[in-house]
Amino acid sequence: MIIKSKSIGKFVDYSGRKLNAPQQALIMGASAVLFQPYINRKNKRLDDDTRDMAVARSIGKCIVANSSDFLARVVSIFAVAKLSNYITKSDKNNEDLVTELTPKSKLDIFAPNMKENFEPRTNKELLKDIKSYRYAMGALLATGFAVFLKTTIELPFTKKLTDYFYKREKLKKEIHDKTDGNK
Amino acid sequence: MIKPTGISSFNNYIFKNYAKDSSKLLVHVGTGVTVIGASAQVGMLLADKDIEGHTKKYLVNQEIITSGCCIGLYYTICDGTRRLTNKILEQGKFLTEKIALSIASLNDENKNPKVSQWKDVFTKDELKKGISNNLEHIQDTKIYKNTADSLKPQLFEYSQKILESFRGFKNGVSVLAVLAASIFAGNIAGPVLGNIIASLPAKKDCKIQPCGK
């Protein structure tokens, strides 16, 4: 299949270059808020009360969990990008061949510090590897941060939002029952 | 020179092992976060005294089973989608007009290249190895060997440019396909399957305590 539309080609290219981990978390989160409460609401195997609680919990959990996931990823990627500046040394006979990789300053705590054990590679290759390394490091840091957020902020917020949406579900049902009774 | 510290040996380990391919680590990390998140949610549910017994039982089951389904589906559907997309793209079954024309123009016999001619640039055996491989190692292809020596450096340079735009396109399609698969696995199929399995004991409970009453 050949895509003739230039705008589709541009969109695909843009997605590959710009759709980063935090943006993907946002898209996943938005679709979770859209689908999961609906799926729970349509679960006819449950009694009304359990179903209402499941719907309220899925809304609360999706909002809080995905917001904290987004926050963890943004902060971690930003921190790793800012604290992983590096300097390189090139081969005397070939300027394009990098032979050493060290942090630029003491603040660059996420930069690799490799002298003898650095496998030489071209500048272009190093840029690609550093990009991939920063992604990996950002993801690891985000995991640690997410664990902290999940055990401290996420749980009480999920409960608060669940209670709020549970009351709303009940209120909606009451209004619906009253309108049905008036008919 | 900054002296290596404890954290730099950890950084070096990550650089050595994941700088070439961070995607595997990202999948494992995503799974780890799901497991930790689900455990925390189960803990919260068990500690919540406001939720009734059978509702709590259902919600705990739902959390554990849905998370398990999501992880299982994530590994199977997302990984399968990534592999399938890669195969389809490498075989040229999904290409942009611009890339197809660029590949077609690698053959200097195609004075006015047409989209359909891109397939004739590589042999059938070469195509099996994938477009990226052929563009990257253009020196091993028949088209390169049949090109006049004076034009070979030009052909090599041009093939590397096409490779760059093909990789950009491939990366974009991969990201979009895996994202769509993740939404399906994590937000649709996982919760539906989780609900069905978690509702089985709840349905039994409902038989004892009539539902909706």
Minimal CA–CA distance to B24: which of B89, B79, B90, B88? Answer: B79
* pLDDT of B163 above 80: yes
Dihedral over alpha carbons B118, B121, B127, B129 (to 10 degrees): -120
* pLDDT of B211 above 60: no
Tell me whether residue B31 is exposed, middle or buried, using C-beta atoms within 10 angstroms of its C-beta: 0 to 12, 13 to 18, 19 or more. middle
Interchain proximity B206–A45, CB inside 8 Å: yes
User: Please, what is the Cα angle at B34 between B28 and B36, to 5 degrees?
Assistant: 100
Per-residue pLDDT of chain A (183 residues; tens, 9 = 90+): 777 777 888 888 888 777 777 788 888 889 999 999 999 888 888 888 888 888 898 899 889 888 888 888 889 989 999 999 999 888 888 888 888 888 888 888 999 888 777 888 888 888 888 888 888 888 888 888 888 888 788 888 888 888 898 888 888 878 877 777 665
Which is higher by pLDDT, A78 or B25?
A78
Is A103 part of the contact surface with chain B (CB cutoff 8 Å)? yes
3-state helix vs strand vs coil in chain A, percent to 5? 70, 10, 20
**Residues of chain A with C-beta less than 8 angstroms from the C-beta of B16:** 117
Cα–Cα distance measured from residue B189 to residue B68, given in angstroms and rounded to the nearest whole number: 12
**Residues of chain B with C-beta less than 8 angstroms from the C-beta of A19:** 175-176, 179
Question: Mean pLDDT throughout B19-26?
Answer: 67
Which is higher by pLDDT, B18 or A52?
A52
* pLDDT of B213 above 50: no
Instruction: List, edge to edge, every strand of the sheet that includes A97-103.
Output: A86-90, A97-103, A121-122
- Tell me the three state secondary structure of residue A100: strand
Q: Which of B12, B200, B206 sits opposite A47 (nearest CB)?
A: B206
Domain boundaries, chain B: 31-208
Cα–Cα distance measured from residue A143 to residue A145, given in angstroms and rounded to the nearest whole number: 5
Q: Which of A2, A21, A39 sits opposite B191 (nearest CB)?
A: A39
Residue-averaged pLDDT of chain B: 80
CA dist list (Å): A129 to A125, A177, B47, B52, B167: 6, 61, 45, 53, 16
Interface contacts A/B by beta carbons within 8 Å: 199
**Residues of chain B with C-beta less than 8 angstroms from the C-beta of A61:** 41
Domain boundaries, chain A: 20-182
- ipTM of this complex prediction, to 2 decimal places: 0.72
Interchain proximity A9–B96, CB inside 8 Å: yes
Q: Which of B21, B94, B172 sits opposite A1 (nearest CB)?
A: B94
Q: Looking at residue A112, what DSSP letter applies?
A: -
- The pLDDT value recorded for residue B208 is 45
- Per DSSP (E only), the strands in chain B are 95-96
Question: In terms of CA atoms, which chain B residue is nearest residue A21?
Answer: B26
